[in-house]
Chain A
Amino acid sequence: RKEVEQDPGPFNVPEGATVAFNCTYSNSASQSFFWYRQDCRKEPKLLMSVYSSGNEDGRFTAQLNRASQYISLLIRDSKLSDSATYLCVVNAINDYKLSFGAGTTVTVRA
């Protein structure tokens, strides 16, 4: 079983729509959670950290559910520039490495 699993999508949404997707992780010792964004043929970049109480950054909202071991990302009022692959990233206690999901692709159309 993969450490981090994501629905690959693609999620095709019109501009202005809301899109949300989840990611599940298998290691119950996971303690830090992130969403990274990767544009086509580019490097991954940190989008936001995910905190226990949930957090927002502009149009982006991240939630963590430790009991069910999943995190979610919601994008409101989608823009064309939100088209990208969103990588779910997890770090476990005493683990020196990040575990990446394979990504969820979002395409926002005009």
Chain B
Amino acid sequence: DTAVSQTPKYLVTQMGNDKSIKCEQNLGHDTMYWYKQDSKKFLKIMFSYNNKELIINETVPNRFSPKSPDKAHLNLHINSLELGDSAVYFCASSQDLLSGQGLGETQYFGPGTRLLVL
């Protein structure tokens, strides 16, 4: 009965490779997110989708491409991996977009994908 799940949990790969991370939520939420947490522990938003529509696209290299086939899934594809991409990537979901009315602020995070680029 996992709420937000991600696969894989660990990913070790060589520079230059292409890899994907998958995320699924079974909470019936409309909004999903990808975050990157680097070695300094900062959680930085990368993308958010609301009902399959891209809402946030922060300053992220275009080697990173999110894809939302339906509102329960948000996948992240990374081309030409670089050393600096090594981090923990968290998927999250919330009931709705942040609205100031308490609907989007509670975000439920997946367990994270630990990516190591060698």
Contacts and interface: CB of A to CB of B under 8 A. Distances in A.
A69 interface: no
Contacts of A87: 43
What class of interface size applies to chain A in its complex with B? 20 to 34
Contacts, number: 50
Contact of B105 (A43, A45, A49, A100): A49
What is the predominant secondary structure among interface residues of chain A facing chain B? strand
A42 B90 CA distance: 10
Interface in B17-67: 40-45, 48, 55-56, 58
Interface in A26-79: 31-32, 34, 42-46, 49
B107 interface: yes
Nearest to B112: A43
Interface string B81-115: 00000000010000001101010111101111000
Given A44-B43, A98-B98, 18 more contacts: A31-B100, A32-B105, A34-B105, A42-B111, A43-B90, A43-B109, A43-B111, A49-B102, A96-B56, A96-B97, A97-B48, A97-B56, A97-B58, A98-B107, A100-B43, A100-B44, A102-B41, A103-B41
Contact of B100 (A46, A93, A97, A103): A93
